Amino acid sequence: MTLDVRGGTDAAVLVPLHLGDGALHAVFTKRREDMRRHPGEISFPGGRRDPEDPDLLATALREAEEEIGLVAADVEVLGALQPTPTIATGYAVYPFVGLIEPGRSWSLSPREVASVLELPFDALRAGYARRRLLRQGLPVRTETYVVGDDLIWGATARMLADLFERLGDLASAQPAPPSRT
């Protein structure tokens, strides 16, 4: 089954999740400030589909390896989220959710990625609000997540909202401590 979304260019992202320190975390990239598109923004690793990519999942996995050094063999793909359009750039973004091991060392693409953020779900949920932002001189009211100094908005925030809705109470459930016998 294929879901289509409005957008002139197909792209895909990986939504890497891990369970670390007893909490579920999502992994994001912070783009370099000198990028032509979406400078300094926080997003999931991903990008445009290349002609040699057999499908959009392959795009998401390839881009995650290129951007943060996360190889496909280290990702247990759990499923996909609702495709999401980008309003300013006209992309149709297909998000895929994958489980990874915590405590990774990241290998950042020096051309694209300034840093990797591993943010706990509880902090993301606590930082949720609909806010009015000024983008390219225009006011935009959008879903946002703020954790410390980090602002997630736009398509990435819409993907997070979809993920939280699908996970429901599981997103905030803490694992039970090991039993002592």
Task: Identify the CA nearest to 48 among candidates 1, 98, 82, 86.
Answer: 86
In angstroms, the CA 75 to CA 92 distance is 23
Mean pLDDT of the chain: 88
Please report whether residue 177 resides in a domain: no
The DSSP result for 88-131, as a single string, is TT-EEEEEEEEE--SSPPP---TTTEEEEEEEEHHHHHHTEEEE
pLDDT band per the 50, 70, 90 thresholds, residue 174: very low
Please report whether residue 179 resides in a domain: no
Dihedral sign for Cα atoms in the order 116, 16, 10, 143: negative
Please report whether residue 1 resides in a domain: no
Q: Are strands 9-20 and 91-99 parallel, antiparallel or unpaired?
A: parallel
Please report whether residue 90 resides in a domain: yes
In angstroms, the CA 97 to CA 33 distance is 26
Question: What is the pLDDT at residue 171?
Answer: 57
Which residues share a beta bridge with 100?
A: none
**Domain count across the chain:** 1
Instruction: Give the largest Cα separation in the chain, rounded.
Output: 62
Q: What is the pLDDT of residues 149-172, one digit of tens each?
A: 999 998 999 999 999 999 886 655
**CATH code of residue 102:** 3.90.79.10
Please report whether residue 68 resides in a domain: yes
| Least confident piece of the model among 24-28, 88-92, 99-103 | 88-92
In angstroms, the CA 116 to CA 108 distance is 8
- Domain with 20, as residue range(s), is 9-169
Please report whether residue 178 resides in a domain: no
Please report whether residue 110 resides in a domain: yes
What's this model's pTM, rounded to 2 decimal places? Answer: 0.87
Question: What is the pLDDT at residue 141?
Answer: 86
Please report whether residue 181 resides in a domain: no
Q: What is the pLDDT of residues 135-151, one digit of tens each?
A: 767 788 889 999 999 99
pLDDT band per the 50, 70, 90 thresholds, residue 181: very low
